[in-house]
Amino acid sequence: MWICKQCGETLDADTAPPNVDEQGFFFICPSCGKRNVLKNVGGKGEDDGIVLAQLDS
């Protein structure tokens, strides 16, 4: 579950799917259009996969 840093909207990954580009992982809030940063907190191994989390800052 994500929370938009601008409008405070609570969203799930179906409503605001995570994306990645040259600046990193993010989701776009469908309510206000804010780009919200996500971080990969998954394992460091090749087969560990990606686990995305929203940072407090």
Confidence of residue 46 (pLDDT cuts 50, 70, 90): low
pLDDT, one tens digit per residue, over 2-41 is 999 999 999 999 999 999 999 999 999 999 999 999 998 8
Instruction: Report which of residues 48 and 52 the model is more confident about.
Output: 52
Count of domains forming the chain: 1
Residue 34: C-alpha distances to residues 26, 31, 39, 53, 56 (Å): 10, 8, 16, 17, 15
Q: What is the secondary structure of the chain as a DSSP string?
A: -EE-TTT--EE-TTTS--EEETTEEEEE-TTT--EEEEEE-S-SSTTS---EEE---
57, pLDDT greater than 60 = no
Instruction: Report which of residues 21 and 44 the model is more confident about.
Output: 21
φ and ψ at 21, to 5 degrees?
-145, -165
Domain of 13 in residue numbering reads as: 2-54
- Total-model pTM: 0.82
